[in-house]
Amino acid sequence: MNYFSSNFKLGILGGGQLGKMLLNDTRKFDIYTCVLDASTEAPCKIASNEFHIGDLMDFDAVYNFGKQVDVLTIEIENVNVDALEALEKEGIKVYPSSKTLRTIQNKATQKLFYVDHNLPTAAFSRFAYTSQIQDTIDNGGLSLPFVWKAAQFGYDGTGVKIVKTIQDLEGLPNVECIAENLVPFKNELAVIVIRNASGETKTFPVVEMEFHPEANQVEYVICPARIDKKIAKKATEIALKTSQAFNHVGLLAVEMFLTQDNNILINEVAPRPHNSGHQTIEASYTSQFEQHLRAILNLPLGRTDSKVSGVMVNLVGAEGYSGNVIYKNIENIMGMEGVTPHIYGKKQTRPFRKMGHVTIVNEDVNEARRIAEAVKLTIKVISE
């Protein structure tokens, strides 16, 4: 099929920053794009060929949108899977498939999938309702501390809480959830696997992620991860095994814990471009977004190695500020060595909202990390 400067239509469910960055590459290749999002202010609005307003969880909205395109992809997991399944039956190519998404959308189902496929993951208990946890603790079936995770619709630190005392359960939504053993990990790693419909598979180098202690959001993504080669090899092998089990098409970001005794446990996966791959835009031969396009269109995959070390810093709304956004001191960080800001185009800021990211490239990964810290301390996402 001819995708380039043709009447082929690529549909994207979700109009956020991941979609916006994906559209940079569809424009590079002159691929016609249609985007569906519920917000009239979505970042994708300006860069797509067609922008449709609709609820991603609504069957009819997703189904009717999907009927107008040749290949359908996502930039967010929270979409109506029944509609995707109906579209697949009618011959629309959907990547990732409805089957993959159905498994990943629910954290309990996702965890059971790892167990069924002998993939290493932290031990967990599954609950139909949060209210059942108290009884289980009282009867000795669960001990503190543990990590509470809502089975569905959690993202970026929402729907996740570390429970150290019984009081920590108060105020949590009474929903289907899992209680996961708290893993004493050294650090968090991620590997992005790319796979096209023909089965050609590649991986990006292992990255290391440093988290914000309160917000449960990634603060820094460091590539390459500063770990032993053997551990990097092990992490890559686990990511490939996970990809094989899902049999996905597109990108699969596999987030992992590296434990104190150098074991690797899968935390969770995302079947789309991911926060842990943003540095690939500046640091790699082929960005994660271009790789996603190559994979879902069944084109040959690009090189995945890095040209240079890269560190990514998330730009999130500062605490205490809500309203029209201002990027304070942005010109100061642009004066620093190897710094490229990416602004997502969200006009309104609020505490911890992802508003952009900054990539720092340097031959020396430790120097890049040092500059990243300076960036973090300098730029502030505030409001008028």
Token digits of residue 146: 């543990």
- What single DSSP character describes residue 301? P
Tell me whether residue 365 is annotated as binding: no
The string of pLDDT tens digits covering residues 308-331 is 999 999 999 999 999 999 999 999
The string of pLDDT tens digits covering residues 325-377 is 999 999 999 999 999 999 999 999 999 999 999 999 999 999 999 999 999 99
Question: pTM of the entire structure?
Answer: 0.96
Tell me whether residue 161 is annotated as binding: no
Query: Domain range spanning residue 133?
Result: 123-181
pLDDT at 154: 75
Specify whether the CB–CB gap between 37 and 18 falls below 8 A.
no
Tell me whether residue 188 is annotated as binding: yes
pLDDT at 155: 66
Claim to verify: residue 157 and residue 189 sit in the same structural domain: no
Asked which of 181, 198, 229 is the last residue of a domain, the reply is 181
Taking the C-alpha atoms of residue 263 and residue 254, their distance in angstroms, rounded to an integer, is 15
Claim to verify: residue 189 and residue 171 sit in the same structural domain: no
pLDDT at 1: 85
HEC profile for 38-86?
CCCCCHHHHCCCEEEECCCCCHHHHHHHHCCCCEEEECCCCCCHHHHHH
3-state secondary structure of 321: coil
Tell me whether residue 241 is annotated as binding: no
Specify whether the CB–CB gap between 314 and 366 falls below 8 A.
no
Structural domain includes residue 284: yes
Contacts of 16 (CB under 8 A, 6+ apart): 37, 42, 43, 44, 75, 76, 344
CATH number, residue 17: 3.40.50.20
Q: Which residue has the tokens 């004493």?
A: 184
CATH number, residue 147: 3.30.1490.20
Torsion of CA 341, 220, 75, 30, to 10 degrees: 40
Flag residues of the chain having pLDDT under 70. 155-157, 215-216
Tell me whether residue 56 is annotated as binding: no
Domains of the chain: total: 3
Claim to verify: residue 222 and residue 363 sit in the same structural domain: yes
Tell me whether residue 78 is annotated as binding: no
Claim to verify: residue 27 and residue 131 sit in the same structural domain: no
Strands 185-195 and 207-211: antiparallel
Structural domain includes residue 177: yes
Tell me whether residue 210 is annotated as binding: no
- Produce one character per residue of 81-106: b if its CB has 16 or more CB atoms within 10 Å, e if not: bebbbbbbeeebbbbbbbbbbebbbb
pLDDT at 156: 62
Tell me whether residue 182 is annotated as binding: yes
> Residue 118's CB: how many other CB atoms inside 10 A?
8
pLDDT at 40: 95
